[in-house]
A and B are shown apart, each in its own frame.
Chain A
């Protein structure tokens, strides 16, 4: 019990100490505000620009969530197709790999032109989706192949239909893999959204990345920090939510799921 309490209290204490040291050091060495603002200045930004920053965070969150949902649905659907047809897998998987290994920043200008400069949000969504899609596809594909071969034989022995085998054997066996893939994809969707906002470099998306660029151009470093903090919080939130989902779905049969 005290062990767990310590694990909770110590990071908080360390955080408080670091923030205090930061504030003190900036004042002591008279660091310029546009190099490193003190925590108090960042807090002030939250007070003055909090609402607009949160709106931007909302925009980025929306893109991230939509990209994640798209990646999840399309990744699972394609993996199911691969599992049911080797031909489809042989034909399509090279393209999935090419999409994955091509740096998203390099595709961005092309996508922006394709969807039109007025639709930068759509470009951002597509780019974030491309980034988040692959881990879902790869993990779901691996998961669908991970079923115990003896159990597969048993299903064959009892003349299970393909649908029965899929629902009762392949889907449950693949669940741990799929959830690991979704966890990775959740983080990547956020990264993809931010990178795409940078790359699309347009105010129409109005996301946090754009606010960081804007603040950087005006040397409002405290605002940059505020936006960064919001991004980090979003990342942590996504990870926590997906970890909770994993625990919820796997606790029954995976006693040892990491929390």
Chain B
């Protein structure tokens, strides 16, 4: 699996808004990295650049080798309202040309992996917010991507659903070992989940700190209240404060 290198990444929009100024970072294959920063500092822009949905104004995105298969999870579940959970999850496979039967079979398995066995035929409007987000994650993972990009995926969920999904995400990551770039503006979520936290300054985003979190996995709920957790969270908070302007 390839490493991902961002070098002097910048993006200025046609409107003149400079969203991202100069981001350089190397994300090793299989790492869980969070991107935190104030609203509007270019986090979503960075993810779109990595996914190839947008092109940088300067700098480069380099993978060792070809650009791998990528899964993307938005803040909203972003499901096709007219399609069942299984059809939604099967989408990447069907677009890649897999025939419907085989795609649905794998989609069902993926739904099982995110704890949604039995909901294959449910329509999005019949699912709760947390369940819809699980469908979205299953869809992002169904094609076995090497990298998973997540843009504040749990921001709209309630506290306990969010904690449960955090745990499930870590379990999936440790099982399948894809690279995760996780955008959040919750300091605590970033510390709980990741091995490394990249802190961006206010717009235009610049890297102000690259903080390692050496705590071993699996991390359980009690880890959230440990002194080690607090030490890292303090570092991230201070870096965020320093990056404000």
Contact = CB atoms under 8 A, between A and B. Distances in A.
A164 interface: yes
Contacts of B74: 150
B95 A155 contact: yes
Interface stretch (B15-23, B76-84, B184-192): B76-84
Task: Using C-beta atoms within 8 Å of the partner chain, give the interface range for chain A.
Answer: 20 to 34
B96 A158 contact: yes
A149 B52 CA distance: 15
A169 B91 CA distance: 11
A157 B52 contact: yes
A150 B52 contact: no
A172 B123 CA distance: 14
A49 interface: no
Q: Which of A155, A157, A172 has the most CB of B within 10 A?
A: A157
Contacts of B80: 151, 168-169, 172
B78 A154 contact: yes
B137 interface: no
A253 interface: yes
Nearest to A160: B95
A7 interface: no
B82 A253 contact: yes
A-side interface mostly: helix
A153 B91 CA distance: 13
Interface string A134-176: 0000000000000010110111111110001000110010010
Contact of B78 (A150, A160, A168, A255): A150
B131 interface: no
A253 B81 contact: yes
Q: Which of B53, B74, B95 has the most CB of A within 10 A?
A: B95
A155 B70 CA distance: 12
A154 B123 contact: no
A252 interface: yes
Contacts of A157: 51-53, 70, 72
Given A157-B72, A160-B95, A253-B123, 9 more contacts: A150-B74, A151-B78, A153-B51, A158-B95, A159-B95, A164-B95, A168-B94, A172-B82, A172-B83
Query: Which 9 A-B residue pairs are closest in the complex by CB-CB distance?
Result: A253-B82, A150-B78, A158-B95, A253-B81, A172-B82, A160-B95, A150-B74, A158-B92, A153-B53
B241 interface: no
22 contacts: A150-B74, A151-B78, A157-B51, A157-B52, A157-B70, A157-B72, A158-B91, A158-B95, A158-B96, A159-B95, A159-B96, A160-B95, A168-B80, A169-B80, A172-B80, A172-B82, A252-B123, A253-B82, A253-B123, A253-B124, A253-B125, A254-B81
Contacts of B96: 158-159
Interface string A235-259: 0000000000000000011110000
Contacts of A168: 80, 91, 94-95
Contacts of B53: 153, 156-157
Contacts of A172: 80, 82-83
Contacts of B92: 158
A188 B171 CA distance: 58
Interface in A76-110: none
Q: Which of A156, A158, A169, A252 has the most CB of B within 10 A?
A: A158
A154 B95 CA distance: 11
Nearest to A169: B80
Contacts of A252: 82, 123
A255 B125 CA distance: 8
Interface in B127-176: none
A26 B209 CA distance: 90
A153 B71 CA distance: 12
Nearest to A171: B82
Interface in B72-116: 72, 74, 76, 78, 80-83, 91-92, 94-96
B124 to A, nearest CB: 8
A108 to B, nearest CB: 41
Contact of A148 (B51, B52, B78): B78
B72 A154 contact: yes
A255 B83 CA distance: 13
Nearest to A151: B78
Contacts of B52: 157
A253 B123 CA distance: 7
B93 to A, nearest CB: 9
Interface string A190-218: 00000000000000000000000000000
